[in-house]
Amino acid sequence: MSSATLPSTAQAHRDAAYRFAVGAFYFAVVSGLGSLVALLFGPYGVVVSVLVSLVGVYYGGIEVARGIDLLVRHALSETGERRPGAASDS
């Protein structure tokens, strides 16, 4: 999914916001399920909950990183992809 191109650069902010929301949703669902499963493990449930929360952070973070990537690509395309050290017009 990360290598997919945007159909239109005008939608970059909306697509990035969608990625942020999906990342937060992944984290919330995985962490919530981890907490529920942790109840079954009694005193070891804390360890299970922490490990599952880390998995949620990982997958949620991937989606957030994809959203940031979309915003950066959009910003670069709007600025004409100016590179550091390139001759400026001023």
DSSP structural state of residue 82: -
Q: What value does the mean pLDDT of the chain take?
A: 81
Looking at the predicted structure, is the pLDDT value of residue 67 above 60? Answer: yes
Is 6 among the domain residues?
no
Range of the domain at 45: 11-78
Is 4 among the domain residues?
no
Nearest CA among 24, 7, 26 for reference residue 15: 7
Mean pLDDT of 62-88: 79
H/E stretch holding 49? helix 45-78
Is 3 among the domain residues?
no
Mean pLDDT of 28-38: 89
Is 30 among the domain residues?
yes
Burial label for 78, CB within 10 Å (0-12, 13-18, 19+), is: exposed
Mean pLDDT of 76-84: 72
What's the distance, CA 82 to chain centroid?
A: 26
CA–CA separation, 12 and 7 (whole Å)? 9
